[in-house]
Amino acid sequence: MARRKLGNLYQRKDSPVWWVWYYAANGQRKYESTYTDSKTQANDILKQRITEALQIREGIKEESDIPLSVFIDKYNLHKNPQRIPYITFV
């Protein structure tokens, strides 16, 4: 019987960066950008995501190590990529 892949790297036609898909701890397939055009760095990110999902699934780890501030910054960048940060002028 064939073994199920836990994740993989791919490049989209509309993007120079590498993307990953992997199975999260809840069994759902997740897709995300690695924000890098280096295949080795993207592969390291994929390994990190797979390891984290397996640790959560096995009860070794309870939640993600990604700080909320980093998550919010990535979300805002994804939601509105042309957004210029608000700067207060004194």
Q: Please report which helix (H) or strand (E) contains residue 48, including its range.
A: helix 39-58
The SS3 assignment for 13 reads coil
Alpha carbon distance, N-terminus to C-terminus of the chain: 66
Per-state percent for the chain, helix, strand, coil, to nearest 5: 35, 20, 45
**Residue 52 pLDDT exceeds 60:** yes
pLDDT at 69: 80
pLDDT at 78: 74
Q: Has this prediction a pTM greater than 0.85?
A: no
CA dihedral defined by 26, 35, 65, 80, rounded to 10 degrees?
-80
pLDDT tens across 4-44, in order?
A: 789 999 999 998 999 999 998 888 999 999 999 999 999 99
Q: Which of 3, 52, 64, 2 is nearest to 23 (CA)?
A: 52
Q: In whole angstroms, give the CA distance from residue 31 to residue 87.
A: 32
88 versus 10: which is more confidently predicted?
10
Question: Structural domain boundaries of the chain?
Answer: 7-63
